[in-house]
Chain A
Amino acid sequence: MARMKFLCDAERCIECNGCVTACKQENEVPWGVNRRRVVTINDGVVGAEKSISVACMHCSDAPCMAVCPVDCFYRTEDGVVLHDKDLCIGCGYCFYACPFGAPQFPQAGAFGLRGKMDKCTFCAGGPEPDRSEAEFQKYGRNRLAEGKLPACAEMCSTKALLGGDGDVIADIYRDRVLRRGKGSEVWGWGTAYGPGKPGAAPAQPRKS
């Protein structure tokens, strides 16, 4: 059983925004909506600048799904959170609830009136017949039904953004971490006791 996931390697992302562009191009995303975005932390600080690409994370316990007044969300058997634009009423509750700011609303009228919600579909379309014109118009390309993976991850030039089955991308990331010899310290001695040999006495607490 596959469980679709995204993983962004902050060590590798070069903030090229290629994933954003690929997504817009592949899905013909409505004007004013970016299903994916790249955010840079400590922008311009040498040695501390890290970029992360973020979109819908297809949560297991999705807040958007829980607060939707018309229950237009559903989760596929691959763990992709999708929604039905025919049911969406544009209330904006999913946008309040989402931690990542993934759901977005094209403006549908004066005074910021919200249209139908639009978000990342993991390139899995929506409830319309797969690979149909109607599905493409509403949700974009259904690449999973073509045997492909999300465009953003597949075209990422540094392979910072991984997307696909959780087991496989975990393997890829683990392999990568072992090779470059960093990243795993988050769990290990480096974090707990600073640089030093395993088994060395921990640092003495400061006297008060």
Chain B
Amino acid sequence: MNQNPNSDASIYDADKAISSTSGFTVNSVQRKGSAPTPLEVLHGVEARMGSAEELVSRYAIPARDAEFAQTTPDLDPQIIDHLKASGTWPLYRHQARSLTKSLSGEDVVIASSTASGKTLCCTLPVIDAMVKEPGAHALLLYPTKALSQDQHRHLRGLIDGIGLSLETGIYDGDTEPTLRRRLRRSGRIILTNPDMLHASVLPNHGGWGAFFANLRYVVIDEVHTLRGIFGSHVASVLRRLRRICRHHGSDPTFIAASATIQNPGEHVSRLIGRDVKVIEDDGSPRGHKEVVLWNPPVIEKPDGTLARRGPTSVAVKLLPELVRRGLRTICFARTRNSVELILRYIRERAKGARDREEVADRIEPYRAGYLPSERRQTEASLFDGQLGGVVSTSALEVGIDVGGLDGCIIVGWPGSVCSFMQQAGRAGRRQGESLVFLIAGQDPIDQWFVRHPDSLHESSPENAVIETDNPYIVARHLICAAYELPLSGEDSDLLGEDLTAMCTVLQEEKRLREEGGAWYLAREEYPATQVKLRTASEENFTILELGPENVIGELDYVAAMLSLYEGAIYIHRAETFIVEEMDHVNCLVKIRRTKTGYYTQVLTQKKVTVTEEWSHREVPGAGSRLAEVEVRTRLTGYKKVRFHSTENIGYGEVHLPPLELDTVSHEISLNRDTVLQSERFGTAFLRSGMHGVARLFRDLLAMRAMCDPGDIDHHVDDNLIHIFDLYPGGIGYSELGHELHLSMMSDVLEAVTECPCAAGCPACVLPGASRIESALEAEVLEYPFPKEATRWLLHLLLGKESYEPQLEGIPAPCENPMIPVPPLLDARVERKIRKVARLTSRRGRQR
């Protein structure tokens, strides 16, 4: 049997790592004979760059041998010949198991690490069906357009390599009408995303010729991203897909691929609505990997106060160093702005020295906002080794194959164990050593990991949670399904046993009409356009550079509002531009190249206004109310921030409409009496307590509702705590909070009491991430006894006898939240942080 050439390689033996040839090595870049190995580079870095204090911890993930398949799956000989010729033979054990299951028609989910050959598990059965059955069709779903592009290139490579002639194509919002027509008529393998499937493919299933009648496989990639509200919508879309297939007489086999999550089998079963087999025992080889946790140093500021330096300061030095020493490295930053800042600082530092400039020129940025063609270019040159390094947002975390990298720098905790594992997995894909650096930020959660470095490799990845019986979601999709085909009681096996009852309600509300035992839409409409699977807007702003009149990028609506207001300094590929005009009608932003010493940060203010009260009741210490609210995020202005020093050098005004969300909120309005009682401890005490309660209530509610914590948000204002659904029209979570108010409050108190920390930690009452919103936030963040304040407030809200807070002793670890202000967090990052906080809280209680 073919042994993995790297199996017995000593981790220090560079030559073996380089000469290994198993698996995909199309992109292998031969290192020059004298180049140092990653571990040698690490020794150098440790010796020269970081003090022992900064290098908090280091642990190794040992190399692992390949486990090859003992049996041969029943693939067509043409395919096997091609795999042998391209060096992908023998298959790994988990690949063979997954293929055998798929080929016999069982639904599977493959949950394994990055680069373990999941793609082949998904594509080989599809191609096999194409060879064996001349009429077979397949549908491949990817969460993003970029991923479909990438995967289509792979698929074409495989098909052309085998020498088949098959019509395949991407069917998404960017597809030309003529190509769309051709794919509908004769496409054998279609790649698309859930949104397109929902809004365009399923409603027009009649126009897809033989596609649905002969659908053999449905492949769903990156299923771990299909979670929360989005995932719950996709679950309904997949049930609609199965119903359409049944109508046309097919019953496709599902193949799902997931990153490592806690519950792949359960998650995918719920997603597709029937049991799946889980393939988990990863047989792919893995190279030795070192994970280093790095805490930036504390420095004295000019005014004598001490502050920890930001994580970018380390990344700016470390990335060029790794690239210079020949390690291809990816650097993950949390926001688009940080990506630009890191790149800009690297370029600035390199100025004047030729060798450093050469290194800096081999580092490119990657984020949303660039032209798709530019992004493809960066992916390709990273893959083929032309680029030495890339600075990216989490956009490169999912799927897209950028080849095996030697190093990965993660600037600030990425928000979840799942994300951390994905990002770290970008380095060292098959064999050879690799390095991962996690540079801690100033957020409480980052510093918590610094104090508990063991939990970094002990943490298990999160559960992916979806809700398949949320009436808000199910009812919306029933209406969509009625457009596609009349609904009848027979559909209840797919669309839920409440189908008839739901349809009756929808009929009474005049959305459906019954005729001959079937329900039809009661009026002419195209309901799919009214149901969005994701909350993010699909509208894009085009960014035009005045002068050369070039389109240099595009950005989605919310991101554009937050970074492309008039007067903003927009950093694009490390160059500064000033925004001259934001044209809302045509979704066009005009910017002009300009040299500035500062960048800008938008200031926002959130306000929650009740538009209609649904129900109200008195609870101890407060009133609990369920209401329809309007959440307005007003852009109050922007501040100018000097590069490097991050000092504030001025303000500007923003004239933009607020971002609005109409949703449902659970409101806890503190009694006059409660507020009066708190006065003896000061306003910061009460605020801190309210934030503590709000934050924990929200996290625990997410657990109760089985939803993603990022689908709920909270806001504290005056004597009010608002806990609302982050979905237009509401989705039922805050209603649950209102119903379970008291029992939720006792859960919150239990979580606080049982947390072993002294004065508060990110696992209980500390905010998951620092925010820049207002002075009030700072007041709350700096308050030293948040746990006591929360406990005191909880006793009142539960009607217990009053609690005497201990307002002395060791203060909570507050990490100078004011300096330097991190760029505005985007919502996803915030969501991930909360997820981690929830996770650690569970572990805390087990102890």
Our verdict on whether A and B bind, yes or no, reads: no
Interface residues of A (CB under 8 A from B): none
Interface residues of B (CB under 8 A from A): none
